[in-house]
Amino acid sequence: MPYKSIIVDREKCISAGSCVAVAPEVFELDGEGKAVVKNATGDSDEMILDAAKACPTLAITLIDSNGKQVVP
């Protein structure tokens, strides 16, 4: 099921890069070293979910197509 929203809380992001390691076509680190979404459909839904779960500070929120928050 595709995600309606992928939201990165920049205040929580500590630049660990685990999201980039797990879903490199979706996430990247910007000039400040903070995670951003570069292509919301770049990797599989499973990879996006794994990337969000891998975030040590739970800075990534996923909202499914029904509007339900999946992570965190």
Q: What is the DSSP string of the chain?
A: --EEEEEE-TTT-----HHHHH-TTTEEE-TTS-EEES-TTSS-HHHHHHHHHH-TT--EEEEETTS-EEE-
In the chain, the number of structural domains is 1
pLDDT per position as a tens digit, 49-62: 999 999 999 999 99
On the question of pLDDT at 1 being above 70, the answer is no
Domain holding 19: CATH number?
3.30.70.20
Q: What is the pLDDT of residue 2?
A: 82
Please give the residue range of the domain that contains residue 8: 3-71
